[in-house]
Amino acid sequence: MSRGKEIIESLRTLADRNYAFMHICGTHEASIARSGLRSVLPGNLTIVMGPGCPVCITPQGEIDAALELADKDCILATYGDLLRVPGSEGSLESCRGDVRVVQGVHKAVEIAEKTDREVVFLSVGFETTAPTVAATILQSPPENFSILSLHRLVPPAMQWLLEQGEAKLDGFMLPGHVCAVMGYEEYEKFPVPQVVAGFEPEDILLGLLMLVNQVREGRAEVENAYPRVVSREGNVRAKKLMYEVFEPYDAEWRGFPVIPRSGLRLQEQFAAYDAQTKFDVEIRHVDTHSACICDRVLRGVARPTDCKLFGTACTPRKPVGACMVSHEGACKIWYLYQRNP
């Protein structure tokens, strides 16, 4: 019997009541949906998606700020996923500005080196991408280069979810990519079962088994099911770089209110590279009124298929909400792999 089948058998034996575990990672969701994992789990074991897609949690006010920068004749450089996220008036794809898709911050710097125009990198992502951007800023890129920092930190969102208790959860599957950089020390303060898991279906199954065992044994600790990549202290150099350049601030997430110290902004000494300061752009809260339930999907209290627009008015070709845009978005993943869970 394969290791995966053995774990599934163990889960079927051990899952003697309802269990719900949240992951906070689009890559976990893609692996779960693509491999059909939910269909082989015991019916009383639920995997809940959390706010694990950095593009999806970027609030409308930040998309509007990016559109304002395009209006100010800046060249905008960013990842393709952000282009179709709807702002208040259109998207980066539909605007008339000069918006270019790049594979990373270094490509945006290359554009700046070859032009006299202002180039703004829309810097989106969790702790996984922020250290690379920090390293770039420390290398003193050209004066016509700046970033709009849309970075977010995972632990403050977990803290918020635990305090609110809106989604009834027995524990968390921690994101392997984020923990590879940050380690998992800072998650040890949360009084719930947590397991760092990798991204192969067997990694995820092992993570689930360890979570079920923690609940059954009355333990609440952080265990590492991904030791080939993740250590408790993480990548010390990358963390140091990140906090040399960025500092936490209170930031809004799509579907959430302002979460204390959950965003990363450039420290004052790097203000010359801060597009918000340089172009006097304000990020405002925008009230959204639509049938889209992305906010509830991101908080783990609704599934994509609970949305009446799913697969009808809202598809990857014609997305209504951010969760149908990104390849890490729950709605897009479910549309591609799991339309009838």
Using CB under 6 A as the binding rule, whether residue 57 contacts ligand SF4 is answered as: no
Q: Identity (one letter) of the amino acid at 49?
A: M
Strand partners, 127: none
- Which residue lies nearer to ligand SF4 by CB, 86 or 234? 86
Apex 159 CA angle, 281 and 164, nearest 5: 100
Q: How far is the CB of 336 from ligand SF4 (least distance, A)?
A: 12
Using CB under 6 A as the binding rule, whether residue 63 contacts ligand SF4 is answered as: no
Q: How far is the CB of 85 from ligand SF4 (least distance, A)?
A: 10
Which of 25, 130, 195, 309 is in the footprint of ligand SF4 by CB under 6 A?
A: 309
Which of 46, 304, 326, 328 is in the footprint of ligand SF4 by CB under 6 A?
A: 304
Using CB under 6 A as the binding rule, whether residue 255 contacts ligand SF4 is answered as: no
Q: Which two tokens stand for residue 118?
A: 């202002």
- Which residue lies nearer to ligand SF4 by CB, 56 or 74? 56
Strand partners, 78: 101
Which of 33, 292, 298, 333 is in the footprint of ligand SF4 by CB under 6 A?
A: 292
**Distance from C-alpha of 182 to C-alpha of 162, rounded to nearest angstrom:** 20
Using CB under 6 A as the binding rule, whether residue 92 contacts ligand SF4 is answered as: no
The residue with tokens 């918020």 is 160
Query: Who's near 196: CB < 8 A, 6+ residues apart?
Result: 174, 175, 176, 179, 184, 207, 222, 223, 224, 225, 226, 230
With CB under 6 A, what is the number of residues at the site for ligand SF4? 14
- What residue number has its CB nearest to ligand SF4? 321
Strand partners, 261: none
Which of 314, 328, 333, 338 is in the footprint of ligand SF4 by CB under 6 A?
A: 314
**Distance from C-alpha of 300 to C-alpha of 108, rounded to nearest angstrom:** 34
Using CB under 6 A as the binding rule, whether residue 331 contacts ligand SF4 is answered as: yes
Which of 294, 326, 328, 333 is in the footprint of ligand SF4 by CB under 6 A?
A: 294
**Distance from C-alpha of 230 to C-alpha of 177, rounded to nearest angstrom:** 8
- Which residue lies nearer to ligand SF4 by CB, 59 or 304? 304
Q: How far is the CB of 237 from ligand SF4 (least distance, A)?
A: 37
Task: Give the binding range for ligand SF4 (CB under 6 A) out of 15-23, 119-127, 270-278, 316-324.
Answer: 316-324
Judge residue 270's burial from the number of C-beta atoms within 10 Å of its C-beta, 0-12 exposed, 13-18 middle, 19 or more buried: buried
Using CB under 6 A as the binding rule, whether residue 293 contacts ligand SF4 is answered as: yes
Q: How far is the CB of 302 from ligand SF4 (least distance, A)?
A: 8
Strand partners, 125: 151
**Distance from C-alpha of 116 to C-alpha of 111, rounded to nearest angstrom:** 10
Helix 236-245 × helix 130-138 angle, to 10°: 60
| Footprint (CB under 6 A) of ligand SF4, residues 165-204 | none
* E-state strands within the chain: 19-23, 45-49, 75-78, 98-101, 119-125, 145-151, 171-175, 194-197, 222-224, 246-252, 258-266
- Which residue lies nearer to ligand SF4 by CB, 179 or 293? 293
Task: Give the binding range for ligand SF4 (CB under 6 A) out of 86-94, 145-153, 234-242, 290-298.
Answer: 290-298
- Which residue lies nearer to ligand SF4 by CB, 24 or 323? 323
Applying CB under 6 A, the residues found at the interface with ligand SF4 are 292-294, 297, 304, 307, 309-310, 314, 320-321, 323-324, 331
